[in-house]
Amino acid sequence: MQDSHYIFTEIGPRLENQDAVHVGIKAQYLIACLADGVGGENCGSIASTQSIQYFIEMVNPKEERLDVTIQEVHNEIVLLQAKDPRCKGMASTFTACVIDGMKLVGCQVGDTRLCVLRGNGIKQLTELHTEANRLYKSGQLTKEAYANYPRKNIIESAIGMKTVPKVQIFEFELHPKDRLLLTSDGIHDLVTKREFRDLSLKSETIESFGENIKGCLKNKVLQDNASFIVIGI
């Protein structure tokens, strides 16, 4: 596996960038994380940054118990809320993957996203923990109604929420030349999967892929903080 990656984060129209990103090596495992803080002025940026920091400190890549790690991270964020009244109500979405050779193990909370690009295809590995997605999957919303649902970005699971976070754990067997794409909703609400695929196909390198996504964003109107990570396998 090549350690080739590209990171982008942009504040957009917000007063503060509450997204946080990380790519690094721990015990010879590649770890990538993307978090999107929730809570407006109530320390959303602290929630996202600290969630990543706690995850990196606590995760044991060899054990692959990411659900346990996420619960431990959640507990730490709750403790921060109790210690500082300003942090009351803060929370964060969270997507991470741990890569060992060609094996990927990942975890997901909220509406950040991880996709794999391979050849002419793109596959989303994460599910959205949102009100709209729950209603769509249960058949209460049609595809058209889902696209125009006014509460589309209401999340139902996040690190630091009052309820125990719902955690998706997934595994995926990678192939050489696969590309991983982690995005916050400020990115994937604007750029379609087909656009990501087409940008990847015309990009020979990870660097050019990242730059081409940035170029695509220049033709969009950012509505939120916007962050993405691209990793080459």
Question: What does the pLDDT read at residue 51?
Answer: 97
Going from the C-alpha of 77 to that of each of 50, 67, 158, the distances in angstroms are 8, 15, 11
Question: What does the pLDDT read at residue 41?
Answer: 58
Question: What does the pLDDT read at residue 107?
Answer: 97
**Tens-digit pLDDT profile for residues 110-125:** 999 999 999 999 999 9
pLDDT (average), residues 135-147:
88
**Tens-digit pLDDT profile for residues 186-195:** 999 999 999 9
Going from the C-alpha of 17 to that of each of 7, 33, 91, 156, 227, the distances in angstroms are 15, 16, 14, 22, 10
- Rounded CA-CA distance 112/35 in Å is 7
Whole-structure pTM value: 0.93
Mean pLDDT for the chain overall: 93
Binned at pLDDT 50, 70 and 90, residue 42 comes out as low
Binned at pLDDT 50, 70 and 90, residue 76 comes out as very high
pLDDT (average), residues 211-223:
96
Which residues, other chains included, contact 184 with Cβ-Cβ below 8 Å and sequence gap of 6+? 19, 34, 36, 93, 112, 113, 224, 225, 226, 227, 228
Binned at pLDDT 50, 70 and 90, residue 3 comes out as low
* CATH match of 4-232 with 3.40.630.30: no
- Rounded CA-CA distance 123/135 in Å is 22
Question: What does the pLDDT read at residue 40?
Answer: 56
Question: What does the pLDDT read at residue 82?
Answer: 92
